[in-house]
C-alpha cells in the first residue's frame, strides 16, 4: 500500500506499547502512514517474530523491558495495547508528560473511508456485531460489510481494505474506548451495561464513562441505538447529541424497535415474526433488536433482514447451534467460562429438557449459584478438574443422572446415550478450559467434531449408543 497523505500521524514520533495482534497491525499501519514508530514489547526479540518483522519495515524496537527513559524521546502519541492498564508505570509516566494515549481503533478510524458502525456493551457485542454484518452483506450488490475490533480482527487491518462503498462494524471494548479521541461512528450501539472490569476501571462509574465514550464525537445527523429496558441508558441518553433509536424486549415503544404480537416492529412497521430468529435466549432477542435498528437506519428491506436471520445460527462457541441428530439438538457454548455465562445459556431453553455438559479448570469456587438454573436439566455429564464439584452440585439440585466423563468428546457420547427426542444437549462448561484444552475455542471445536462423528454413525444407532 502507498503511504497515505494528510493524516495526523505522518512524520510524527509514536511509541507502540505492547504488541500482540492489535499492536503489531497498528505499528504496521503507522509505518505505512509515514510515522516514526518505536515499539516496546516485554517479550525478548529472539522469541518475538512480530518485533523482528517490524524492524525490517523500519521500526525501532526495544524488547525485554519497559525503560521509563524511553519516554524522553519526544513522542507525539503512545499507542498502547488495550489490555495494558493505566496503572502501568510507562502509561502513568506518559500521562504525566501529557503524551496522548490511543488504542489501535483510533488509528484505524483516522484513515477509514467506509461507513463506520460501532458496537459496545457489557454483553452481546460480538453477536450483535455479527448479526449487523450478516444483514448488511445479505444480497448486497456493491461493497461489503466488514466486522473488526474486539471481535478478534484488528481494526487497523480492515481500515486498509475497506473503501468508501463499504461498511465497517467495529466491536469496541471499554479498554479500547479509553484510548479514542476523534473516533466518530455514524451509528453507535450500546447493547447493555452491567458491572464489569472493575479491576481495570476501578469503579463502576469509570466503566460506564468508558462505554459512553462511543457517542462522544457523534453529532445530530448520527444515530445512537440504546437498550431502553435499562433505565440507566434512558437517563444517559439525555446527554447524547445523536438521534436516539431505542430498542426494547419488555415494552412497546412509540418509535424504535420492539416486540408486539410475536413479531418485531420498527415504529409502526412489522419487520419479521419473532420465530424467524433462530438463536435461543432472551439475550439474543435483544441483540437482534439492536441489529434490526441498525438495518432500518440503513434502509435495508424487511425481507432481506429476515433472510439474514433465517440463516444465522449464532456466533461460534456462544450458544451456537451445531446440529440435530434424531431429534436431539446440540449447542456449543464453550465460551461459557464462568457461572454467569452458563446461567445465561441454561436460561435460553426454558421449555426443553437439557443434558448439560460442564466442567474445566478449578479456580476454587463453588457452583451453588448454578443450582436455580438447573431446573430443566435432566442429566449432567461433567469432566475436568471441577468434575467432582459439579457432580455434587447436580445432586444438590436433585439431578439423579450424573456421569463423570473423561473429556468433551466422551461427554458428547455419554450425553447422547441419556437423551430422547426434543432434548437439548448443551456444552456450557461454567469453567475455563485450561486444565485440558489450550483455550475455549479448542474445547468447542472438540465438541463440534464429536457431534459430527456421532452423526456419521447415526444410521447404525437406533436410540442411545
**Cα–Cα distance, 201 to 343 (Å, whole number):** 25
> Strand (E) positions, 43-114?
60-63, 77-80, 101-102
Given 3.90.190.20, 3.10.20.30, 3.30.310.50, 3.40.50.1970, which CATH number is that of 320-457? Answer: 3.90.190.20
Written as nine digits, the cell of 213 is 465514550
Q: Which pLDDT value is given to residue 214?
A: 98
pLDDT digits (tens, 9 = 90+) for 388-421: 999 999 999 999 999 999 999 999 999 999 999 9
pLDDT digits (tens, 9 = 90+) for 423-449: 999 999 999 999 999 999 999 999 999
Band of pLDDT at residue 201, cut at 50, 70 and 90: confident
pTM: 0.86
For the chain, helix (H) and strand (E) counts, in that order, are: 16, 20
Find cell 497491525 and name the residue.
25
At residue 218, the 3 state secondary structure works out as coil
Q: Which pLDDT value is given to residue 382?
A: 98
Written as nine digits, the cell of 252 is 412497546
Band of pLDDT at residue 6, cut at 50, 70 and 90: low
pLDDT digits (tens, 9 = 90+) for 220-265: 999 999 999 999 999 999 999 999 999 999 999 988 999 999 999 9
Start-to-end CA span in the chain (Å): 57
Averaged pLDDT for residues 339-346: 92
**Cα–Cα distance, 41 to 36 (Å, whole number):** 17
Q: Which pLDDT value is given to residue 1?
A: 44
At residue 60, the 3 state secondary structure works out as strand
At residue 124, the 3 state secondary structure works out as coil
Pairing relationship of beta strands 101-102 and 115-120 according to DSSP bridges: unpaired
Written as nine digits, the cell of 13 is 514520533
Q: Which pLDDT value is given to residue 196?
A: 64
Neighbours of 367 (CB within 10 A): 22
Pairing relationship of beta strands 320-325 and 243-247 according to DSSP bridges: unpaired
Phi-psi region of 364 (alpha: psi -120 to 50; beta: other; left: phi over 0): left
pLDDT at residue 31 greater than cutoff 90: yes
Averaged pLDDT for residues 31-57: 96
Q: Where are the domains of the chain?
A: 13-102, 105-310, 320-457
Biggest CA–CA distance in the chain, Å, is 73
**Cα–Cα distance, 446 to 135 (Å, whole number):** 29
Given 1.10.3720.10, 3.40.1190.10, 3.40.50.300, 3.30.230.30, which CATH number is that of 105-310? Answer: 3.40.1190.10
Radius of gyration of the chain (CA): 24
Q: Which pLDDT value is given to residue 45?
A: 95
426 phi, psi to nearest 5 deg: -115, 120
Q: Do domains 105-310 and 320-457 have the same CATH topology?
A: no
Q: Which pLDDT value is given to residue 461?
A: 46
Q: What is the DSSP string of 325-357?
A: ETTEEEEE-TT--SHHHHHHHHHT-TTS-EEEE
**Cα–Cα distance, 440 to 432 (Å, whole number):** 7
How many Cα atoms within 13 Å fall on the side-chain side of residue 186?
Answer: 13
Neighbours of 27 (CB within 10 A): 30
Q: Are 387 and 404 in contact (CB under 8 A)?
A: yes
Domain 13-102: CATH architecture, name and number where available? 3-Layer(aba) Sandwich (3.40)
Closest C-alpha among 232, 275, 224, 227 to residue 251: 227
pLDDT at residue 210 greater than cutoff 50: yes
Handedness of CA 287, 288, 289, 292 (dihedral sign): positive
Amino acid at each position: 500500500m502507498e503511504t497515505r497523505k494528510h493524516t495526523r500521524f505522518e512524520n510524527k514520533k509514536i511509541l507502540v506499547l505492547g504488541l500482540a495482534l492489535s499492536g503489531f497491525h497498528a505499528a504496521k499501519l503507522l509505518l505505512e502512514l509515514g510515522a516514526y514508530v518505536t515499539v516496546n514489547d516485554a517479550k525478548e526479540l529472539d522469541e518475538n517474530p512480530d518485533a523482528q518483522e517490524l524492524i525490517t519495515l523500519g521500526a525501532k524496537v526495544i524488547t525485554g523491558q519497559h525503560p521509563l527513559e524511553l519516554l524522553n524521546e519526544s513522542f507525539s502519541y503512545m499507542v498502547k495495547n488495550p489490555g495494558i492498564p493505566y496503572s502501568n508505570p510507562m502509561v502513568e509516566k506518559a500521562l504525566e508528560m501529557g503524551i496522548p494515549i490511543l488504542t489501535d481503533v483510533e488509528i484505524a478510524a483516522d484513515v477509514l473511508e467506509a461507513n463506520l458502525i460501532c458496537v459496545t456493551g457489557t454483553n452481546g457485542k460480538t453477536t450483535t456485531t455479527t448479526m449487523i454484518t450478516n444483514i448488511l452483506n445479505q444480497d448486497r450488490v456493491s461493497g461489503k460489510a466488514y466486522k473488526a475490533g474486539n471481535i478478534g480482527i484488528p481494526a487497523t487491518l480492515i481500515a486498509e481494505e475497506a473503501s468508501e462503498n463499504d461498511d465497517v462494524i467495529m466491536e469496541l471494548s471499554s479498554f479500547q474506548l479509553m484510548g479514542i479521541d476523534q473516533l466518530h461512528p455514524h451509528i453507535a450501539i450500546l447493547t447493555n451495561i452491567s458491572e464489569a472490569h472493575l479491576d481495570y476501571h476501578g469503579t463502576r462509574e469509570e466503566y460506564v464513562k468508558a462505554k459512553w465514550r462511543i457517542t462522544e464525537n457523534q453529532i445530530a445527523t448520527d444515530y445512537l441505538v440504546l437498550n431502553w429496558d435499562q433505565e440507566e441508558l434512558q437517563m444517559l441518553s439525555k446527554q447524547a447529541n445523536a438521534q436516539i433509536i431505542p430498542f426494547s424486549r419488555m415494552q412497546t415503544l412509540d418509535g424504535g424497535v420492539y416486540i408486539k404480537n410475536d413479531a418485531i416492529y420498527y415504529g409502526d412497521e412489522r419487520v419479521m415474526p419473532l420465530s424467524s430468529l433462530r438463536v435461543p435466549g432472551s439475550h439474543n432477542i435483544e441483540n437482534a433488536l439492536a441489529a434490526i435498528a441498525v438495518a432500518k437506519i440503513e434502509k435495508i428491506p424487511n425481507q432481506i433482514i429476515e433472510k439474514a436471520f433465517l440463516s444465522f445460527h449464532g456466533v461460534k462457541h456462544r450458544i451456537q447451534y451445531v446440529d440435530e441428530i434424531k431429534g436431539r439438538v446440540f449447542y456449543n457454548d464453550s465460551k461459557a467460562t464462568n457461572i454467569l455465562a452458563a446461567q445465561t445459556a441454561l436460561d435460553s431453553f426454558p421449555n426443553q429438557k437439557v443434558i448439560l455438559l460442564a466442567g474445566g479448570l478449578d479456580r476454587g469456587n463453588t457452583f451453588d449459584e448454578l443450582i436455580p438454573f438447573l431446573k430443566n436439566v435432566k442429566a449432567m455429564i461433567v469432566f475436568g478438574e471441577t468434575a467432582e464439584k459439579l457432580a455434587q452440585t447436580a445432586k444438590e439440585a436433585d439431578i439423579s443422572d450424573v456421569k463423570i466423563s473423561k473429556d468433551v468428546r466422551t461427554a458428547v457420547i455419554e450425553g447422547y446415550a441419556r437423551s430422547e427426542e426434543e432434548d437439548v444437549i448443551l456444552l456450557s462448561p461454567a469453567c475455563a478450559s485450561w486444565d485440558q484444552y489450550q483455550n475455549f475455542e479448542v474445547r468447542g471445536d472438540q465438541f463440534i467434531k464429536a457431534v459430527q462423528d456421532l452423526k456419521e454413525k447415526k444410521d447404525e444407532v437406533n436410540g442411545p449408543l
